[in-house]
Amino acid sequence: MRGKSYTFFIASNASGGMRRVCVPFYVPHLLVALALVGGITVAAAMGSYSRMLWKAANYNALRSEEAGLKKQYFQLQTQVQDTNQRLDSLQSLAGEVAMAYGITRFRATPFDLSNADREPDAEYQESMNEFSYLQKNVAAVATSSGGMRLYPAMQLSALGIEPSIWPVVGRITGHFGERLDPFSGEGAFHAGLDIASHYGDEVRATADGVVTEVSRRAGYGRLIVIDHGFGVTTWYGHLSGYNVQPGMHVKCGDVIGYEGDSGRSTGPHVHYEVRIYNTPVNPWRYLRGIPPTLASNGD
């Protein structure tokens, strides 16, 4: 029994002949099935491509939104930094006024009496710290009906805790207060003085004290911090090397490090700060002796 088939007659206009083609019954159905499968495949591919384009457009939109948010974040960060710098400037002025008139109350540094829930051993050690601290600094404390307070700042020199000498002999390349940042070109608060001479020059302690920090800090580079008592500290930044360790007692004029350009610096110099209860004050008011040559560059 012969299988079913389709017969197609093909006529030629040129020769006038006719040709007969027999096609098995399943071939047209197979071709239709293949056409359907091909159409579905093409439609699926176009749909996938459309979804890919949509996702790419969304991704680009998210990238653009992320860039905008980052820009807003940096703008807000700049505004916050500017506000903090202005606040530091006001705190500095307030601190200088308070110290000048002797109205700054004696703080708990280096001990703190505010926590009543401490272990007996901790309280004993703290009492010993209090005793040692007052024993070393008793001449600087005045007792009145209002409690203990500091003498006016102009009397600190008599106690040996006024940072009165130059940390390094050189020229001032950056002043205390508001200025244009040499890196960003924008207004910024400069918390100290920049004093430049030569790379590797000796940097000296400006008053007696205890070294509390010898480390690297962002912006400062290699940094030394000395505590002179009663909330007075001095900071020495951008050093090339150290000559002290934390906990060491130093005298005024001792070599504590060496001038350098580490950290955020445009050249060798010492970034010198005087802080009272961690509030930067103008070091210029305490410096004595050699008048520096003024210059315009710095960090």
Q: What is the 3-state secondary structure (H, E, C) of the chain?
A: CCCCEEEEEEECCCCCCEEEEEEECHHHHHHHHHHHHHHHHHHHHHHHHHHHHHHHHHHHHHHHHHHHHHHHHHHHHHHHHHHHHHHHHHHHHHHHHHHHCCCCECCCCCCCCCCCCCCHHHHHHHHHHHHHHHHHHHHHEEEECCEEEECCHHHHHHHCCCCCCCCCCCEEEECCEEEECCCCCCEEEECCEEEECCCCCEEECCCCEEEEEEEEECCCEEEEEEEEECCEEEEEEEEEEECCCCCCEECCCCEEEEEECCCCCCCCEEEEEEEECCEEECHHHCCCCCCCCCCCCCC
Whether 190 maps to a domain, the answer reads: yes
Tell me the residue type at 87: L
Beta 221-229 vs 193-196: how paired, if at all?
unpaired
Q: Which tens digits make up the pLDDT trace of 236-268?
A: 999 999 999 999 999 989 999 999 988 888 889
In this structure, what are the phi and psi dihedrals at residue 193, rounded to the nearest 5 degrees?
-115, 140
The pLDDT, as a whole number, for residue 102 is 45
pLDDT for 128:
63
Domain for residue 101, yes or no? no
For residue 17, being part of any structural domain is answered with yes
Which stretches in the chain have pLDDT values below 70? 1-3, 15-16, 89, 91-160, 179-187, 289-299
197: in domain: yes
Tokens found for residue 71 = 């820009």
Q: How far apart are CA 135 and CA 127, in angstroms?
A: 12
Q: Does 118 reside within a domain?
A: no
Range of the domain at 281: 171-285
CATH number at residue 185: 2.70.70.10
Which of 23, 52, 78 marks a domain boundary? 78
Inside any domain, residue 238: yes
What's the confidence (pLDDT) of residue 147?
Answer: 43
Domain stop point among 60, 78, 96? 78
Domain boundary among 78, 98, 129: 78
- 279 falls within a domain: yes
The reply to whether 162 falls in a domain is no
Shortest CA distance to 175 belongs to which of 292, 14, 51? 292
Q: What is the pLDDT of residue 230?
A: 81
Number of domains in the chain: 2
Q: Is residue 273 a contact partner of residue 280, using CB atoms and an 8 Å limit? A: yes
Residue 226 is predicted with a pLDDT of: 95
pLDDT of residue 96: 61
Angstrom distances, CA of residue 250 to CA of 93, 104, 170, 241: 29, 26, 22, 17
pLDDT at site 156: 56
